[in-house]
Amino acid sequence: MSRDQQLKDRWDLVVEKLSNKFSDGDSLDLDSIIYLIGVQELGQLNRAFKKDQKLDLMHIAICKLLMPYGFYEFDFVDDEGWPHYKVKEELPNLKAGEQSVLMKEAIVNYFVETNYID
């Protein structure tokens, strides 16, 4: 199986599993999955978030997802339990499609590492 096909199959599995668990079967989009990863990484699962906090959660997720690629490194957790990251390397200029593929690959790797999917 080609690497692209494996990524597609694993991405579809992630979307299916998360959609069934969090959206009554409606397919979650990339941003929704990034948000869920942010909530997971924060670890404060049973609370409501304000709009700016939701953006912060997405930032946490993106940092966590792109850490293995060398773009971010974990810095510290603040007094309210929010993780903070430092930029190690600026992200390259990518076309929208390339950004999407990078994020999907990073998300799939995250869920493989956490044993959510094989």
* pLDDT tens digits along 8-48: 999 999 999 999 999 976 899 999 999 999 999 999 988 89
Q: Is the pLDDT of residue 74 over 90?
A: yes
- Helix then strand then coil, in percent of the chain rounded to 5, is 60, 10, 30
Write the CB contacts of 101 (distance below 8 Å, at least 6 apart in sequence). 7
Nearest 5°: phi and psi at 77? -110, 130
The maximal CA–CA distance of the chain, rounded, in angstroms, is: 46
Q: How far apart are CA 72 and CA 44, in angstroms?
A: 22
Secondary structure element (H or E) that encloses residue 74, with its range: strand 72-77
In the prediction, which pLDDT does 45 show? 85
Q: Is the pLDDT of residue 1 over 70?
A: no
Global model pTM greater than 0.85: yes
Which two structure tokens, joined as six digits, stand for 86?
Answer: 């430092």
